[in-house]
Homo-oligomer: A and B are copies of this chain.
Amino acid sequence: MKPSRAPQVLENPSLGEAAQLIKKGIAQKKTVIIACHCTVDYEGRANSTLGPGDRVVLIKPDGSALVHRPKDYAPVNWQPPGSLFKTTLKEGEVELRAYRRKEKERMVVHIKKVVLAAALELRDSGEFTLYASERDMQEAILLEPSLLEEGFRPVTKERPVDPGFIDVMGYDSDGNLVLVEIKRGRADKNSVEQLKKYMDVVDRDDSRRVRGLLVAPEATRGALKLLAQLGYEFKPLTPQKCSEVLRRRRATPLTRFLSGSR
């Protein structure tokens, strides 16, 4: 009998050796990497076929699986986390099935030749932090309302309104209600329509003048045109700028407090 600590990396293995490594790797909840010549079939939310070629197959311990061609950001085929796997050694191929019962969805990788197979125990508890998100823009505006315009006073972070939540809401220096829609990327017509949905609801409830303000680093021509038609406004603001504001504010709260209290 083979030792349980069988080699975890195989170069140009036989299909039998590869099948064994894949099976064991998946069973032991390891991360399995396979560089191979294969075809792929998918049936589920859609159907797809992929002709023969060399790809990298990645099987993760959370039950996700990816088939990557030697190009593109996105996998050509995949199965989301929570999938189950079945590896079968057949005549001339290793068949790797990744399926989700509930979704009636399955991806089948027909592995014809394995160049490299590895089963690795990857431990990863590193923290991931993303800055300059739309959320950050929101918080920056609340901390430093003058980012929008002088005299702007935010009311609540997000007020529930019929359709959903308004990104920011407040009053301008003239006391007008201002509804703000934030986009971290170039705003398009959709962004304006999203703002319009909120405006429509608040306009109904509120007899006062209400201003609609789209905040984004830039906007498409179509968006600007639609804004003009609806009488809304555009305020250019980059997520990077907001991120800096947050960093500064958070880095020096005591200093600000002291200097502010003099």
Where the two chains meet, the residues of A that have a C-beta atom closer than 8 Å to any C-beta of B are 9, 11, 31, 33, 35, 39, 45-56, 58, 60-62, 64, 66, 68-73, 76, 78, 80-81, 115-116, 118, 120, 122-133, 163, 184-185, 189, 193, 239-240, 243
Query: A35 to chain B: which residues have CB within 8 Å?
Result: 31, 33, 118, 120, 122
Tell me the smallest distance from the CB of A74 to a CB of chain B, in Å. Answer: 9
Query: A115 to chain B: which residues have CB within 8 Å?
Result: 120
Report whether A48 and B128 are in contact in the complex, using a CB–CB cutoff of 8 Å: yes
Report whether B116 and A118 are in contact in the complex, using a CB–CB cutoff of 8 Å: yes
**Known interface pairs A47-B131, A243-B47; A64-B54 also in contact (CB < 8 Å):** no
Nearest residue, chain B, Cβ from A132:
B46
Tell me the smallest distance from the CB of A68 to a CB of chain B, in Å. Answer: 6
Report whether B73 and A64 are in contact in the complex, using a CB–CB cutoff of 8 Å: yes
List 14 additional contacts besides A49-B127, A54-B123; criterion CB under 8 Å: A35-B118, A46-B133, A46-B184, A47-B243, A48-B128, A51-B126, A51-B127, A53-B123, A54-B124, A60-B71, A62-B70, A70-B123, A163-B189, A193-B193
- The 5 A-B residue pairs with the shortest CB-CB distance, nearest first, are A53-B124, A51-B126, A53-B126, A54-B122, A46-B132
Report whether A64 and B71 are in contact in the complex, using a CB–CB cutoff of 8 Å: yes
Tell me the smallest distance from the CB of A228 to a CB of chain B, in Å. Answer: 16
